[in-house]
Structure 1
Amino acid sequence: MAANVHVVPTERNGWAVEVEGTDGATSHYPSQEEAIAAGTEKAKRDKVELFIHDRHGKIRERNSFGHDPRDVKG
């Protein structure tokens, strides 16, 4: 089963895309926008959730790209 994807800040003012259950980042980007674009592509392809963290590491946004129930109201 595929693992969720996280966009997280790096120690050197960049951004990284990490996959749960792996050691370290799978890719690095100079801007959060670039990391979000790459993370979104991966999450869509793998049909998993994307977690976008702020500069302090707190989750600020969460997007699901698969396995959503169709009968949910709202």
Structure 2
Amino acid sequence: MALLDPLAGISGYLRLAKSPPWAAAIMLFAAGDMQYSVFQDIAPQAKLNKHWAPSLGALLGFMLGIVGHMLTVV
């Protein structure tokens, strides 16, 4: 695995250098996944039927804040 990560990064860079929209979409998906994972660990350990709801709510709140910021800047 230690050798596979740099090789995958280099091949992704070379293949996606000519396609910025695809690179942006992949990075956006990965960033959302990382944020969800962080909020999953930070969210309180309450007994919920839908245990993913606090994490998803935090992620949607962050997305709403980013969209609101983008709309005020433009």
The alignment's TM-score, normalised by the length of structure 2, stands at 0.29
> Normalized per residue, which structure has more strand?
1
Bigger radius of gyration: 2
The alignment's TM-score, normalised by the length of structure 1, stands at 0.29
**Does 1 or 2 have the higher relative contact order (CA < 8 Å, sep 6+)?**
1
